[in-house]
Chains A and B, each alone.
Chain A
């Protein structure tokens, strides 16, 4: 009995449940400030699951997920801004000479519309982008560059359309949601647990997906897309769908993130954050789902701790870690765990887990 529980815990799902339990208990022994901070990291953890589905399993690298994340965050922030000011026109609009809320804002003054759009808008954007790239067989580096271009265009647009978006400053006046004060620790604790629940839900959703026949097809696309076409698969549509799902997950993450950090500005969704998201995935271990979650939480925890104590050192350290991982541990943290447990189980050449990312030439 005890053995079988132990065995279950050694699977990725088991380990994830353990992690979730830990994350549910941590607030008991943390100050409100840190609960809030950890909640932000959990939002990142949600995002990287979607990114792993796209990159780790399907082999499509997006360095533009900051934008999908940003979509969710901005949409939510607009709703909260309206609610916080009781529908009054925000200051930055008044300064730009606008006396009425623009129609886009009016549309988002309904919370349900806002929540739905925070997820659906990034999905539509990804669908359109995916449709025109994947169907024309644009892939690999070319696709990745396109996603970076998307970031540039969108950020430029947000900055230049200051009267609608708040420009470089972003949206800063976020004080209440559904009448609850966002600065109240109780509200934040509730949001923390909602984020955790969403993390668990998204993980289980993607876990099911990658272990289904659909998931095997994704891995086959990653490892031999051209070959798979000759088996009768129109791989473009698979990639469009996965890209769209992944963008929706990013939007959801952005929505939860902005409620906890209380501000959103273009610099938070720009090129650098977009690249960092992919690095968390790589560090944790592609095509493992659990690895990226750990990657996002650990790197952000590290960043917070070290930037408080040794601000300069941390950047060098994290740079070094990334290089070490890419050179010596291409499978990320999870492959470290797998290497150890492989020895433990004396697995010789039996399967470990479906579609763990190729260690060579990736």
Chain B
């Protein structure tokens, strides 16, 4: 009975990171950083420039190797040393800080190749667009508001549209854990609003970690917030708790006068 409870508890956690250290030469980018997140939670990661937020996401998607420590996804999948494509297939999707879409493919084609499917060479060789896939793509284009741009070469989209397209692409992967690095950077206020709505939609489908600088945006959509500083955990809790934390005020919010 009790063991079942423990299991139920640990099953709730989709990601468990303990004492992660990442070094670039002499420089320590992550310093004993621990982090965990429940399923279907939306978790914001904030901190001053160079705090190590992007580095942490890089670790989770296989771009950067862990020097020391452990990162476990979905209870038993150790992320360290795994190739990026395998981590992606396991269900971690990444949206990069600068929008990275494929500029010479159309909007639909971008989504089509990102879509969850068997991505081994010979399956893709045989792949034919099914009716179900077509519906899925149409629905996704509607969600990200790019239905009209379906056959447009993605390189011709506006900055905000590219951001959405990339979000749409990671959504098509149907990840269990979605990593978003500054999704509203460079967006107009109106676009920000749309993105916020999109996030709330997304939350129904997966767990999300968002790195964001814009405090107004964070306080509007955050459930839990983690503050990082110099590669380490500074504080964690609800937005309110974090805002009232003295250490946080000192190193981050205070200095920026953002709150």
Task: Give A contacts to B, CB under 8 Å.
Answer: 212-214, 216-217, 219-220, 223-224, 227-235, 237-238, 241, 349-352, 354-358
Contact = CB atoms under 8 A, between A and B. Distances in A.
Contacts of B251: none
Given A213-B113, A237-B121, A351-B151, A223 B85 contact: no
Interface of B: 61-63, 83-85, 88-89, 93-94, 96, 100-106, 109, 112-114, 119-121, 124-125, 127-129, 151-153, 156, 169, 173
A217 B100 CA distance: 15
Given A217-B113, A230-B61, A351-B106, A241 B94 contact: no
Which of B84, B94, B152, B169 has the most CB atoms of chain A within a 10 A radius of its CB? B84
Contact of B104 (A213, A230, A354): A354
Contacts, number: 92
Given A213-B112, A349-B152, A351-B151, 17 more contacts: A216-B105, A217-B124, A219-B104, A224-B102, A227-B100, A229-B85, A229-B88, A230-B88, A231-B113, A231-B169, A233-B85, A233-B119, A234-B119, A349-B156, A354-B104, A354-B106, A358-B103
A235 B102 CA distance: 15
Contacts of B153: 351-352
A216 B154 CA distance: 13
Nearest to B156: A349
Contacts of A356: 104
A223 to B, nearest CB: 5
5 contacts: A213-B128, A220-B102, A220-B105, A227-B102, A355-B105
A227 B113 CA distance: 12
B140 to A, nearest CB: 14
A220 B100 CA distance: 11
B122 to A, nearest CB: 9
Which of A216, A230, A235 has the most CB atoms of chain B within a 10 A radius of its CB? A230
Nearest to B61: A230
A251 B173 CA distance: 39
Nearest to B106: A351
A95 B118 CA distance: 58
Contacts of A220: 102, 105, 113
A232 B113 CA distance: 10
A20 to B, nearest CB: 26
B113 A351 contact: no
A321 B126 CA distance: 41
A216 B103 contact: no
Nearest to B96: A227
A351 to B, nearest CB: 5
Nearest to A356: B104
A212 B127 CA distance: 8
B119 A224 contact: no
Contacts of A217: 113, 124
Nearest to B121: A237
Contact of A350 (B83, B85, B113, B152): B152
Nearest to A240: B121
A355 B85 CA distance: 23
A241 B100 contact: no
A352 B83 CA distance: 35
Contacts of A228: 102, 113
B253 to A, nearest CB: 32
Given A223-B104, A227-B96, A354-B106, A216 B113 contact: yes
Contacts of B128: 213
Contacts of B102: 219-220, 223-224, 227-228
Contacts of A349: 152, 156
A60 to B, nearest CB: 15
A242 to B, nearest CB: 10
